[in-house]
Amino acid sequence: MARKATRKKAIWERGYNRSHVLWLGKEKLAKVQLDADNALKYLWEAAGRKGEAATLSAAKAAAEYAVLLADKQLSLFDTDTTDSPQ
């Protein structure tokens, strides 16, 4: 019997320079970094969005949510006309 194909799972990996990175295979999805200017502030970047959070867990959650929204959000200038009335 053939094995069922499994989905890859995104994992957090500790990076250099006080940062953590979310990877899906070899694709970098998000990055959380400790802000050097502000004490105990975490800066996150994911899916073309940026933000800050007070804790590492809150920053990771916000970055994961941004990646999730980017995956579900439809394109503004979609050229597909299958749903348009004729």
pLDDT digit string, tens, across residues 31-71: 999 998 877 799 999 999 999 999 999 999 999 999 998 87
Distance CA(21)–CA(14), nearest Å, equals 6
What is residue 48's predicted lDDT score, i.e. its pLDDT? 92
For residue 31, which of 48, 45, 14 has the smallest C-alpha distance? 45
Going from N- to C-terminal start, the domains of the chain cover: 11-70
Question: Tell me: the pLDDT tens digits for 12-39?
Answer: 999 988 999 999 999 999 999 999 887 7
What is residue 42's predicted lDDT score, i.e. its pLDDT? 96
SS3 helix, strand, coil % of the chain, rounded to 5? 20, 35, 45
Which neighbouring-strand residues pair with 25? none
Say which residue, 32 or 75, is predicted with more confidence: 32
DSSP string, 46-60: ETTEEEEESSHHHHH
What is residue 86's predicted lDDT score, i.e. its pLDDT? 47
